Each structure stands twice: as C-alpha cells, then as structure tokens.
Chain A
Amino acid sequence: MNTPAFSRRDLLRTVGTGFGWLALPGLLEADSSTAVESGNPLAPRPPHFAARAKRVIHIYLNGGPSQVDTWDPKPELTKWGGKKLPLGNLTTERETGVALASPFGFAQYGQSGLWCSEIFQKTASAHADRICVIRSAYANTPNHEQSMRLMNTGDERLSRPSYGSWLTYGLGCENQNLPGFVTMCPGLPVADSSNWRSAFLPGIFQGTYLDTRKTKITELIANIQSPRTSHGDQRRQLDLLASLNRQHLAARGDDVNLEARIQSFELAYRMQIEATDALDVSQETKATQDLYNVNSVHGRQLLMARRLVERGVRVVQCYHGDVQPWDSHTNLAEEHRRLGNECDGPIAALLTDLAQRGLLEDTLVICGGEFGRTPAVEIPIGGGNPTGRDHNHHGFSVWLAGGGVKGGFAYGATDEFGYRAVENRVHVHDIHATVLRLMGFDHRKLTYRHAGLDFRLTGIEEAHVVNEVLA
C-alpha cells in the first residue's frame, strides 16, 4: 500500500478498531488490506483460498435429536429392542437400560437412496440428493451446556469466540447495513449468549440475537427505529451533525477515527431501513410465505434467514426453540414426531427456495444438535415408565447441504446399534475445520493473538478437514 502519510501499522493502530484488530493482517496472510484500510471491521475480506460457500445457515435442533430416529437407521437396534445390548451401554449423563427400538419408520430417498426416518420425510423426499449426513459425529460430554458451547465455540467451558464470530472476523460482511452474524431463537437456548459470543474478538463480531417470539420487526433489533423521530426529521439532524462534524474535523487535519464515526451515521441511517426490510417476511409472495409456513416461528425464522443471507449476512443460526426442545428424555415417540412436524416442512422449504434462487450453490446449510441420544432407554431417576433416551455424545448425526458439499451421501458410521461413532469418526472440531475449509479458510491459520497465545476455533489438538464430504 502507498498511503503517503500513514503506514499500514499506523492505520491498524488508529483506524476505528484499535487494539485487537492489529492481529488481522497476520491471520489473513493474503490480501486483507482493503478491508483494514477502510477502517471497518465488517468490510468484506477474501479468505485464505477460493471458498466453496460464502455464507452459512445453521438449523440448530437444540436439545439433541436422536440419530437412530432420524438419519441413522439401525435394524440391529430394532432386533434387540427390549433386551440388554450385547456390547453394554456407554456412560452418559443418566443411567440407561435395555435397547429402545426406534418407533419411526425409515425409508430410502432420492437417486442416492439416502436413508431417513419419517420425522424428516419432507426434507428427505425433496432434497435427499442434496444432503450429506455425517453419521459419525462425536463430542466430549453428554451435557447440554458443554456440548452447545463445543458445537458453537470449539470449547466446552472457557470463554472462546463462536464459529460465527470467527467467520465474520475472517470474512467481514457483504452488506454494510446489516450485522455479519445473526442468531435467532424463539427464547434462549441453553448456555444462551455464550453460544454466539465473540469472547476476546472485538464485540462487533458477536452474533446479533433476535428473539423471534417477538413478531414486530422494530422490537427485534435494539435501536433500529426511533420511537419518535421521522426519517425526514432524522435526515435533517444528520445533515446538521455532518456539518458540525466536518467543521470539527477541518480544524484537526485528517483523522481516520473522526472520519469513521462520521461515516457510521450514514451507515446507521441506511441500516434502519435495510435491516427492517430484511426481516420483513410480509414482502414475500404468498406462495413463498405458504411454502415456509410463515405463521410458524420455524418457517418465519428460516425465511428471515434466507432474506438475510441473500443480502450478504455471513452466518445465520436458527435455533429450534427455548432451552432444549429436542431433549426427549421421556415420550420420545410423541415428542420427536411433534418436533419434526414443526421444522421438517420449513427446512424442506428453505432448501427448495435456496436452490430455486441459485443461492444453495454458495450457501452452506448445517442441520443438527449438540449431540445425539442413546440407543438404550433412559431409566427415569425418580422412577416411572422408561420412554425416552438420554444424551449421547459418543455418536450422532449432523447433515450438511449446499455450497461445496457432496449430496446424497452418508459419511462415517456408528456401531450396529448407533451408540458410538466407530467408522471415520468426526469430532466437532473436525466439523469446524470442514466448515472453515468450505468457507475458504485453513483452520490452523485463522488465528487471533490473545493472552500470549494464538487462538483458533479448532483448539490445540489436531483437527481434520473431512475431505470426503467435499464435492
């Protein structure tokens, strides 16, 4: 770069971003100067290498959907139903008993013949050939808080940035009038904001949380509308402000910080309109609204997600619901069926819609929970009928679709009963490494210096990109 009066170091130091921002050029290695020089931490930046996906929609079935009742059929489990499993049960949070056969029917779908249960029948019948099921995912701990954080931040307990923050830090946002990372939930998932925190990354990379129980758009984002000033009056205010600020600046020579703040008001003014617009699903055709079923919170969330990624938002997470809805410790047969009914249609609609709009090519869709459930029935601690499954981190399914993913493909395997990932095991860190790869990053090199160490999403121990799932 050839700015006469400022070196890059000086810009990094002074441009609107200050301290932590200094680490950026090192981490991106490739050309990141455009973004950094513009002084805007959300300016779009190229990743390490050509990306297969530019954005992520994560459908988060929080609570732990059961793999053996959804994407990982286990005939052997059915055979052993009601009997003690010959391999014994693995340690999970609670005591478990005999094998619990899946109450759901499985079928093969699409050209590929991908297996899926009736719970996700709509999604599978329309999109099996687009979906890549990782059947051999595993985590560390059979407990929600730790596993939620692991899935979102790569660490179970420590304060670490979420993968959405890492991606926004690495890539910026393609739309300067919208946040780079949005997370939606009707209520709050377990471990709430620690799931989308930026931790030691600058706060701007934290997920913007929308409580989708609220249906009024102006209530979804803080300060998005003035409670009393019209846009016209605000325009007059902004013009005066700009004039006063320009006179102030003129007496002080060039100062990028002063300039950046002046600019930020123009951005904010546009954001008021654009963000409101992005979340307004009533602008969609009736056909689209019906496709998603916008009257359900799940349909509305996913349609908003599409509208956001369409406008350049990098990462959108849609949680299924408050606390941990998929946590079927009891009445799994009814509960899982109900939960599937809530989201199967909207998920199928999202994939259909993304594909129709040509967005699926470079949008990565992730769907899964923080862990799976035990093939063995849970023994209720306080007594009562055993009708559910306990948490199971030893093996579970997560599926990917869209940008750069091999569709109609099941990767890895759990044991014959679906307890433990045994073939081509994929740790959560490996999922992260793979997502980063799809988004154009080498997970070992997307780092940030904090407290004397270079941190990365995938942690200290070696993580592996699952090359087999890449198209």
Chain B
Amino acid sequence: MNSLGLPCGKRVGWLLAVLFWPNAASMLLAQEAGLSNANGLQSEFFEKHVRPLLVKRCYDCHGRDTAESQLRLDVKSGWERGGERGPAIVPGDPAASLLIRAVSYRDEKLKMPPPDAEGKLSDAEIETLTNWIRQGAYDPRGGEKIVTDIDRAAAEHWAFQPIAPPAIEPGVHPIDFLIERKLAEQNFAVTEPADMRTLVRRTTFDLLGLPPTKEQLATTREGYPQFVKELLASPQYGERWARHWLDVARYSDAKDGVLMYGDARIRPFAYTYRDYVIRAFNDDKPFDDFIREQLAADQLDLASDSPDLAAMGLLTLGRMFDSNRHDVIDDQIDLVGRGFLGLSLACSRCHNHKYDPIPTADYYSLYGVFASCVEPYDRPRIGPVNDAGKPFEDEFAAKLKEVTDQQQAHYDATIKTTRERTPDYLVHIATTEPDVSETTIFFLSLTPEQLRPQTTKRWRQVLARRAFPDDSVFGPWHDLMHELVLKPDEWKARGVDHRIVEGLVAAKPTTMAEVAKAYGMIIRDAWLAGATEADPLAGLLLSRDGPVWFPSRDVAYYLARQPADAYRGLVGQLDAIAVKHKDAAARAMVVHDAEVLCDPVIFQRGDPVARGTPVPRRFLEILSPADRQPFTHGAGRLDLANAIASPTNPLTARVWVNRVWMHHFGEPLVDNPSDFGLQAKRPVQLDLLDFLANYFIQNGWRTKPLHELILSSRAYQRDSRMPATAAMANQQRVDSANTLLWRAHRRRLDLEQMRDALLAVTGELDSTMYGRPLTITDESNRRRTIYAFVERQNIPAMVQTFDFANADTSTPRRSLTTVPQQALFALNSPFVLQRADALARQLAAVEATQRVPRLFQLVLGRDPSLAEAEECAQFLAAGTVEQLSQVLLITNELMFVD
C-alpha cells in the first residue's frame, strides 16, 4: 500500500503515484477510476480537471477567435504548434513546457493568466496541469491543423512556388523576348545600343573589375561574344566575382573581441577560403557543388589535402561573439538562410517568424546541425610543405601536443573535482535561486573554489526533471521540499533506491540544506564505492547525460581565471605560430562533426536556459515535402547542403541568379537580394527570373553560361543615357526605377574597382594571385584589393569611407554614399598622390606637347577634346604634371561606368 491507501501493483502504482499526488481532487478521481486502463484514467482526468481549467482560465484569450500571440489552447493542435514562442507543451516534461513556465510565474516576462486579469492559477490548478503534462498531455480534442495567415500567404507566395520558366519564342534572345514583351505592353521605347567603347568598358569593369586595355577598347560588335569569352577565361574574372560572394559570406581575415590586437587578431588561414572562392569562380564550379563544399566539404570524400576543404571557411570565419557559442551558431544560421535561400531564418531564434513561415522549431533544427560541429585545432594541411615551411610544422606539432595534453589534464582534474563536490552542488541549488551566470558563463572570472555555474545549471535541470514523487532517486527530495518529514516506509514501498532511504534516515536532516548535503554524499559515495555508469546513483556522475559530463573541448569555461587565461593563451599560440611563419603551408579552416551530436530543443524566447520542445535536425518545413524526415548523415550538414542545392528548391537558384543580375545591371530583379520571404513583393520580371534560374540549373548550375547569356542581350547593351525627348521623360516618370529595363544604369566604381583601376591605369597593378593578405595602407602593396587584409575592428578610413561591406554580417548589397571624406581621399591621400607620381614619371619621357593626349589615353582611354586639351595646357602653365595627373585620376569619367 502506498501513502494514499491504494492498492499498488507495479505498473498501476507507478501511474497512480505520478497522477495523484498530493492533490485531494486527484485522489477522489483515482478512487472513482479504480483500476480502469491508463487511457481511460487519462481521459477522465483530462475531462474532469484539465478541460474545465483550460475552458475557465485560458480559452478567453487563446480560443479560436482570439488566439493571442497566435496561441490556441482550445485544440490539441493549438498547443502542439504553439504560438509565437513555439510549442506550448512538451508532453512528459513539465519543466520544459512553456505553459507551465507561464502559469507558474517563474518568468518575469511571461506570466499567464496575466496578473492584472483573474491572476495566477492556484497551486492546485498548476499541479493539475503539471501532472497532466508529465503524464504525456493526453488530449482527446485533436483539432484541425492550425493554419495561420502566414501559412495562407506562404501557400500563395511567388518565391515558394516551383520555378516556372516561361515559353520563349524561338530565334529571339530569351532575355530580350521577355523584357521587350513587357515594354511593348507599356508602349515603352528603349535607349540606343551603347557605343562599343562604352560597352567594352562596362563589360571589363563588370567581369574583371578593371578598366579596359587599349587593345580591348578596339573590340568590334562582331567580336564582342568572343571578347566576353576571353574575359570569362581570365583569372581576373574570379578576383572580381569572388568578392561579390565574400560580401555575402561576411569574409574577414580578422578575429574580433577581447584583446584581439596586433597579431592576435589575425586568422592566419582565412585567406584559404578567399582563394577557394576565387578558384571556384575561375573554374566555374557548379553552384550546387559550391554550396555542398562550403557546408560539408569534410563529408564529400575529398582527398585529405584537397584545397576544396578550405570551402568550409564559410562556417568558421564569422565573428566570435565573445565566445558565446549560441551567437556563433546564430550567425551561421543567418548566413545560410539569407546567403543561400534568401530567408531571414535568424528572426526565428526567439519566436516564430513575424512575417515568414519559419517556426522557431525550424531554427532549432538547424541550430542542432551547427551545434554538432567543432573546429579542430589541427586543421588539415592543403598545400605542400616547402623547406621554408618546415619550422612551422615542427613548432606547431609541439604546441599542439602541449595544448592537447593540457586540455586533457585540466579536463580530468575538473571532472574529478566536480564529482567530489556533489554535496556542495546540491546544497547550493537547494538553497539558492537560479542565477543569470549559470547561462552566460562566458564572462565570469572564477576563483578555484567557486562552483562551476554550468554544472550548477545542469544539476538544476536534473532536479527539475526528476524531483517528483515517483522518481526512484529524487522522489524523497520532492517530498522533503514540501514537508521535512522522513517517510522511509513509504519511500521503500514506492521503490526508492535503498541507499537514498538509508542515507536520509542516517543523516536526520532538519533543513533542506541538510537534505541536499545528505543526497550529495549518498550519490558521491556510490561513485567512490566503485559503482558503474549503470548504477542509478553513480550514473549521475558518470554518464554523458548526467550533470557532470561536458565535452573536453569546452574545458576553458570550467577553469578558474588564471589557469583559464593561461590555457586560452596557449591555444591562441597555435594561430600565433602560423601568423609568425609566413611560409607555413596552407591549412583549411574546416569543421567536423562533434564527438557527441547535439539533439536540439527549442530555447524559449531564445534563452538557452529555458529549454523547450525537442526537435529533430532536419530541413525547413516550408521547403520540405509533407513527410519531412530528420537528417541522416551525422550532424546533417551534407543533408542540409543537398536540400539547399536541390533543383526543386524554389529559392536557391533564384536567389543566386538575382545576385548575378544585380551585379551586371546595378539593380536586382528582386529588391532585397537576401530576402525572398513574404515581405518580398512579386517581382515585375518574375518570368525573367524564372527563366534565368531554370537556364542556370539546366546548364549544370554554372555561372559563366549565365554571364554569357546576360551579356549577349540587347538589354545589357543599352545606353545609360536617355535622349532628351518627351517620351523618355515620361517613361522616366512612370518607371523611374527602370524595372522594365529600357535603359542601362550608370554606376560608380566600388572600393575595389576604384583602387584596382587607379593601379591599372598607371601600369602599376601587380597581378600576383592568392596567398596571405596584405595591408591595404601599405604603400608597397600594388596587388588587387581583394588581397588586402579585411579588418573587423579599426577598419581603415579608406575602406570605411568607400562603403565596403560590413564584415560582421552577411551583406546582400553595399550601401552607396557620396561624402566629402571620399573627396578628401582623392585630394590628399598618399595612395592617390603616388599614382599621380607614377603617371608623371611615365610622361616625363614624352614630348611636352604630347603629354596631355598621352595622359588622357592612359587614364581615360581616349584623346582629349580640344577644349579639354586647352584647359589642361593652361593648367600646366602654372601647375605640375603630377597635379594634372591627379586631376585626371579623380574625374567622374574614370570613377563612373556608363
């Protein structure tokens, strides 16, 4: 017999103990129910206690018509799907259920029912809900699938529909066919074809990021297709187009954060990712492979030294967020979402997406994928070790061993101490409220004696899960929390572990602290007595699911301040050595699947301590078939990559071709190139976008054929100048954004085009490719701008002033400002003055009368007009050739592309 005086068969007894404590109403129910089957009991419990409670206290605001915060509690599907914050109930786990969190008023920011209405539920009512959920949240109400306004809009949204290439009239350029069809509908005229000089200049800046050479300027219209092919075959093509992707990939050579100055801020092998991207463009690597390599190169059976392993720099080059892992993962999710799919997935971190069909469950499915990855200290070598590189290899190997040994030593010591201090941990959690430090461990400076907050947190989770009457270890803990009375007979009858019962009896605790201490000693002693992981007590300290275990890689978080600093310093030396040895062979910044994969749960409101519903690692609901399956390859990065790179994914190809289009025309077809969600209006040129996306996929996801197609269109080759006619003025008024594509856009050179052009026209550009980055302000640096060190902090004024992409986050499109600081650069910077000097040196050998024409040819690729020649001559009468050269270098004519 148990304390309730009821018969106690093993199975039923367990059930009863769970269901009916210590609430009088429950007891009555139990007596009425007798020994009916479990389902019947649950059903009755629901009908008699849960349903009336929900009706009375919840339906008003969370019913069919109200559904506040999108949450419905009047149907089962309502709490299953949950509201803005995600699922409301985790069956079997009250501690993880948002509903219990809300009604218990534990969370200052989530109190339901609201204090100002009828107020908090009674303890008995809360207990009813707790028991119900713990028992599995049996709910006979079922209910239709909840369909929200977002779901309805998503079902219709253009970007989620399959790519539907339009029919093209044979014999017509497909792009022009589609564009001119719309122009004809509006009775729009188009501008003239650009002259060859303009077109060639536009094309070299577009494809290579460089001004045309004199020979290139001689290209004829007939020779243009061949000219385009040659540019695409040039290695300088990759140097231009890689940079566009690096903006999206938030590429930087720098670390960020505490004490990241000087050499300590350098990621010595970041450049291998930049070089990978350049090569990928030059090789016209199929974009689907490009995706797979960046997310999962380690799983593609590449050679162990394959340079393509460097692709995974995409995942490893982001900010460090002061070592806060959740933010690092968020950054990875954001990048994958906006970069590949045009979806702002990171918006679903704390609540279901406000605009898009991305439940917070989807976010945590991907969280699980990236949380299951680890970046090894020993990165794979992808380049040959030459003689000069040998010293690095030796020094690195020795340092790596030192790191590994220290890690293991610290780890073993920490685990041992933690086990020994089990009584301290339990006393602490029994006598204190949770503290914020238990989840935000990254900032603490611990003394050697302090309890480790992360371990405290995990012990609290164990108690939250297990301190219930039926638990064979923590059942008495629960009882004693309510009433400090020892009930050994009852406990034995409930099947509590005899060591707990005996230990508590022997300790005769009179306070909760003493109870906790007794518990701690009983558990610790079981371990010291040599019990194994299978033992229910020692297992707490030994198993990987227990509160003591953590991955050894995280050991620095568990160390006191001084050893932690020393250990982190040691780890930092691994990179410092690589920074120091300039000839070190390249290594790829990969990730691997971790030793133990993360089975994610939803973090309610994004708070890692508020653990909610478990979710599988799997792809997004909106882009998956109805029978969506969990990922199967390890952490699932390859599955994720395959799902993104699938020809049936309606987003990936569209997003990429839209980016390509934007870089050719200056304006994209879809306004925000990284947001194709419900906020993205159906583009005027959707048929064109779909044609291009389909063409791209049909051509094996290759970008070069896409360039050729676009550049061969009349649309690309139009003049940017508008004839001053009334008709054109009218068109400009009606379609000022040129969405119908009746003219070309004039564009200013971006930072890289500007700097590279200045070096090119003076004949100084160093065409060396690849390798470690150079300082942009270094006067001897004449290489293309893509090889300049990309800073995260203390960005050089030149880079900041010319609207360079923010390397902290994925940049779909740079802002474009015109400010006097740019003009100050043109007037006063050593960089521009040196270019002027270089021109003057070349002109020194030229006959005086020929200097102005020669200067115009060098800088602008044309002869001066008579007026220009005269003005320049006048200028030279009182000014220097250097000064004149500088003026030419900073003209609008050089800085803009028509």
Contact = CB atoms under 8 A, between A and B. Distances in A.
A9 B887 contact: no
A459 to B, nearest CB: 11
A361 interface: no
Contact of A258 (B354, B450, B896): B896
B737 interface: yes
A200 B355 CA distance: 21
A193 B814 CA distance: 20
Contacts of B896: 257-258
Contacts of A158: 321, 327
Contact of B823 (A5, A190, A265): A265
A203 B817 contact: yes
A140 B560 CA distance: 22
B816 A236 contact: no
A7 B733 CA distance: 6
With most chain B CB atoms within 10 A of its CB, the pick from A9, A40, A247, A260 is A247
Contacts of A236: 875, 878-879, 883
B875 to A, nearest CB: 5
B833 A260 contact: no
With most chain A CB atoms within 10 A of its CB, the pick from B355, B679, B800 is B800
A249 B892 contact: yes
A204 B356 CA distance: 32
A241 B106 CA distance: 69
A145 interface: yes
A18 interface: yes
A203 B350 CA distance: 29
Contacts of A141: 440, 443
Nearest to B893: A248
B828 A261 contact: no
With most chain A CB atoms within 10 A of its CB, the pick from B324, B795, B819 is B819
B444 A93 contact: yes
Contacts of B879: 233, 236-237
A229 B882 CA distance: 10
A19 B891 CA distance: 24
Contact of A233 (B450, B667, B818, B883): B883
A9 B737 contact: yes
Given A192-B794, A247-B865, A451-B334, A199 B347 contact: no
Nearest to B250: A159
A229 B826 CA distance: 13
A39 B818 contact: yes
Interface residues of B, number: 99
Contact of A453 (B344, B561, B820): B344
B878 A9 contact: no
Contact of B819 (A5, A200, A227, A264): A264
Interface stretch (A48-56, A218-226, A303-311, A426-434): A218-226
A267 interface: yes
Given A20-B815, A41-B817, A451-B344, A240 B872 contact: yes
Given A145-B257, A233-B879, A202 B815 contact: yes
B375 interface: no
Contact of A452 (B258, B355, B445, B893): B355
A228 interface: yes
Given A158-B327, A249-B892, A177 B736 contact: no
Interface size class of A (residues with CB under 8 A): 35 or more
B428 to A, nearest CB: 12
A464 B868 CA distance: 61
A21 interface: yes
A179 B824 CA distance: 13
A19 B815 contact: yes
Interface string A223-266: 11111110001101100110111011101110101101110110
Interface in B856-898: 865, 867-868, 871-872, 875, 878-879, 883-884, 886-888, 890-893, 895-896, 898
B407 to A, nearest CB: 22
Contacts, number: 250
Interface string A189-208: 01011100001101110100
A41 B354 CA distance: 30
A80 B170 CA distance: 92
Contact of B890 (A227, A241, A258, A260): A241
B825 interface: yes
A42 interface: yes
Given A145-B258, A236-B878, A157 B818 contact: no
Contact of A262 (B732, B748, B892): B892
Contacts of B801: 203
Interface in A100-121: none
Interface in B779-831: 793-795, 797-798, 800-801, 803-804, 806, 808-810, 813-830
With most chain B CB atoms within 10 A of its CB, the pick from A143, A159, A253, A267 is A159
Interface in A22-79: 39-42
With most chain B CB atoms within 10 A of its CB, the pick from A40, A255, A379, A451 is A451
A190 B261 CA distance: 11
Contact of A10 (B347, B737, B798, B810): B737
A6 B732 contact: yes
A17 interface: yes
B682 interface: no
B633 interface: no
B78 interface: no
A255 B829 contact: no
Given A236-B878, A265-B823, A19 B813 contact: yes
B447 A381 contact: yes
A93 B443 contact: yes
Interface stretch (B1-9, B128-136, B721-729): B721-729
A222 B819 contact: no
B338 interface: yes
A468 interface: no
Given A451-B674, A452-B679, A244 B893 contact: yes
Nearest to B797: A222
B110 to A, nearest CB: 12
A227 B833 contact: yes
A10 B736 contact: yes
Interface in B432-453: 435-437, 440, 443-445, 447, 450
B824 A203 contact: no
B806 A159 contact: yes
Given A192-B793, A379-B447, A461 B109 contact: yes
Contacts of B354: 453
Contact of B800 (A206, A251, A271, A451): A206
A357 to B, nearest CB: 27
Interface in A425-471: 451-453, 460-461
A272 interface: yes
22 contacts: A10-B737, A13-B737, A16-B817, A17-B817, A39-B818, A40-B819, A41-B819, A94-B447, A145-B257, A146-B443, A157-B327, A179-B821, A192-B794, A229-B828, A236-B879, A244-B892, A265-B827, A379-B447, A451-B338, A451-B346, A451-B675, A452-B338
Given A203-B815, A223-B821, A268-B823, 16 more contacts: A91-B436, A91-B437, A141-B440, A143-B443, A202-B815, A226-B827, A233-B879, A234-B827, A236-B878, A237-B887, A248-B891, A271-B824, A381-B447, A451-B674, A452-B355, A453-B354
Interface of A: 4-7, 9-10, 13, 16-21, 39-42, 91, 93-95, 140-143, 145-146, 156-159, 176-177, 179, 188, 190, 192-194, 199-200, 202-204, 206, 222-229, 233-234, 236-237, 240-241, 243-245, 247-249, 251-253, 255, 257-258, 260-262, 264-265, 267-269, 271-272, 379, 381-382, 451-453, 460-461
Interface of B: 109, 256-258, 319, 321-322, 324, 327, 334, 338, 344, 346-347, 350, 354-356, 435-437, 440, 443-445, 447, 450, 560-562, 667, 672, 674-675, 677, 679, 720-722, 724, 729, 732-733, 736-737, 746, 748, 793-795, 797-798, 800-801, 803-804, 806, 808-810, 813-830, 833, 865, 867-868, 871-872, 875, 878-879, 883-884, 886-888, 890-893, 895-896, 898
